[in-house]
Amino acid sequence: MPDEATLWDLVIDERIAIEDLSAAVDLYLADPTTQDHPIGPHHSLDLAAAVAAHAVAPATMRDGEADEPARRMAVRAALLMARPTARARPRGGQAPGGCPGPGAAGPGVATRRRRR
C-alpha cells in the first residue's frame, strides 16, 4: 500500500487492527496532546495533529454540549482519515511488534517475500 494510505486503508488491509484504533481513540480522549503514538506494528500517528486537521472533530471537542459518544465518533473519524507514518525497522533484527525484519535470517540465507 502506498505511503499515502489512510488509517482506514490500513485497517481494511488488515495491517492495523481495529483494536489499535480503539486504543488510540481512548488515548486521545485521555490526553488530547498525544503526538507520536505507535499504532499497529509498523506505523505511528500524531493523534493531536490528526484531530486538529479534521473538518469537524475540533469543533466537536470544543462543544461543551457534545456527549461522550459524539466526541468518540469525531475522534475516530479524524484518526481514520489521517495518514500514519511508517516506523523504521531495525536492520537484520526484530521489527517493532516482535516480527522478524528483512534479513533476520542472516547473511547468505535465502528468504521468500510474500507478494500481494
Low-confidence ranges of the chain (pLDDT < 70): 1-3, 90-116
Taking the C-alpha atoms of residue 80 and residue 78, their distance in angstroms, rounded to an integer, is: 6
Pairing of strands 36-39, 85-86: unpaired
**What DSSP assignment string belongs to 29-98?**
HH-TT--EEEETTTEEEEHHHHHHHSSSHHHHHH-TT--HHHHHHHHHHHHHHS-PEEPPPPTTSBPTTS
**What is the per-residue pLDDT for 94?**
52
Q: What does pTM read for this prediction?
A: 0.74
**What is the per-residue pLDDT for 87?**
87
**What is the per-residue pLDDT for 101?**
45
**What is the per-residue pLDDT for 65?**
97
**What is the per-residue pLDDT for 34?**
94
Closest CA to 52 of 24, 82, 30: 82
Taking the C-alpha atoms of residue 26 and residue 34, their distance in angstroms, rounded to an integer, is: 11
**What is the per-residue pLDDT for 107?**
43
